[in-house]
Chain A
Amino acid sequence: MPQFFSNKRLIVLLVSIIVLVALIGTSMKERDALTIPEQFFKDSVGWLQSVFYKPANSVAGLFESVGEMKDMYEENKLLKSRLNEFVALSEELKEVKQENAELKNELNIDPSTGISNYQTFHANMIARSPDRWNDLLTIDKGKQDGVEANMAVTTPKGLIGKIKNVQPFSSTVQLVSDVDRTNRIAAMTQEDKNVFGTIEGYDSEKDMLIFAKIPVDTKVKKGQTVITAGNGGIFPRGIVIGEIMDVETDNVGTTQTAYVKPAADLYDINNVMVIDRGAQTVTPSSEEGDEE
């Protein structure tokens, strides 16, 4: 057997370990934007990825729709009965919206600056990080389409994450299930009273989000819906995050922690919506008014 490590190679190994630590250290830092070469690589590989992803996805979709065919009849009946309810609801919504606008007008609040005001645009997923340690997606809209870092990303069912990095023609989405110190969302439940807290991370054993910092004297129950609170600055108010499955009191006894099952399926994502809050010029007084 040849000599496993000659002296020279041992030195190379040690130097590369040092370089590894240095590289990890520098790339772990909070970065505003990626370097130009990184952006270039991500963009060009992203284009190739979409060439692979889209046909595979449509083939999978074909199989899925064949499978769905047999439930179609039942579903159709159910949906038709729901349609009448929907008409009534949408009429009601229209009325409420109008009333809301009138009231806002009377109070002199500019309708474009509310914390639940936003516009969305659509994007397609083109790749996903294959090692599940980093839960990152790549989508096919980038800076050119108006995507910016920290925008919220949702599917029709609910919140899935936020934009982490933006390249000119693609961007990276950090899912809510990504374990990261900085991955925090201001959240609330709305039953009788607004209860505020923070989504502080993801429990990968239970596959649930951790909804922490809930004041101990407030009541949260299993089955309540958790939505974004909108006072973190990043996300608008009212995006569905998930449903509370379990509530625990912390061992210190000052706050409660709830486990939240995400409303969106984090593994079956095709089309996503990026939420643009627009330029926010919220005056402190209107912010306080919304807190109550």
Chain B
Amino acid sequence: MKQLLLSGTLFVLFLIEGTVFQVFAPEQYDLEFQLIPRFVAVVVLLVGMYLSPMFGVIFGVIFGLLHDLIYTDLVGVYMFGIAVSAYIIGYLAKVFQLNWFTSLVLVLLGFTMLEFYVYELFSLINITNLSFNSFIHDRYLPSLILNGIFMLIVYFPVKRLLEELSESRRQEN
């Protein structure tokens, strides 16, 4: 039941990224920067940290694949990217005492890994010709702030859900 709730939340966030958020995207008000919502990736990273890295990988593969199929032409890019960053962050999380601040830092680190990986890959295969400087200024930094704020908003409810989930999993074993 709780697992269904988690998957449902992720799916709704996935839909919001491409629809509701695009209605209010900053470019149509003649702003220079881009805000890239990575809401699904943020929650998947939290799953990797609070549940287990393996769960992060599973959700990363499912929702990354969905992102690839619906919003891009290339299959595999986000599937691999979200899964691997959730795995790495999930392991790093075991070193830290997790509270809202360390979680924020780790989520932003995971987001950074994902953005840089996608940027490097897409410049390698000529999908983008954006220079590194404008990537940092117009895209990476504004999106970092957006996703940081999003993480702080969803942190407590998502954390409670994940802790209940891991509790019920422990009881089953």
Contacts and interface: CB of A to CB of B under 8 A. Distances in A.
Contacts of A265: 28
A64 B139 CA distance: 26
A1 B94 contact: yes
B37 interface: yes
A190 interface: no
A87 B64 CA distance: 55
Interface in B111-170: 118, 122, 125-131, 134, 139
Output the residue of A41, A60, A204 with the most chain B CB within 10 A.
Answer: A204
A55 B125 CA distance: 37
A132 B22 CA distance: 11
B23 A136 contact: no
Nearest to B61: A16
Nearest to A4: B91
A62 to B, nearest CB: 12
Q: In terms of DSSP, what is the predominant structure of the interface of chain A?
A: mixed
B64 to A, nearest CB: 11
B58 interface: no
Contacts, number: 121
Contacts of B126: 179, 181
Contacts of A181: 126
A87 B122 CA distance: 51
A52 B15 contact: yes
Nearest to B95: A1
Interface of B: prevailing SS: helix
A175 to B, nearest CB: 12
A130 B80 contact: no
Interface in B1-59: 15-25, 27-28, 34, 36-37
Q: How large is the interface on B (under 10, 10 to 19, 20 to 34, 35 or more residues)?
A: 35 or more
A48 B8 CA distance: 13
Contacts of A130: 17-18, 21-22, 36-37, 71
B98 interface: no
Nearest to B70: A45
Contact of B15 (A17, A49, A180, A203): A49
A204 B95 CA distance: 41
Contact of B77 (A4, A24, A38, A60): A24
Interface of B: 15-25, 27-28, 34, 36-37, 66, 69-77, 79-80, 83-84, 91, 94-95, 118, 122, 125-131, 134, 139
25 contacts: A1-B91, A1-B94, A20-B76, A23-B75, A24-B125, A28-B125, A41-B69, A42-B70, A45-B15, A49-B19, A56-B19, A126-B19, A127-B71, A129-B18, A130-B17, A130-B18, A130-B22, A130-B71, A132-B34, A133-B128, A134-B71, A134-B72, A204-B128, A267-B27, A268-B28
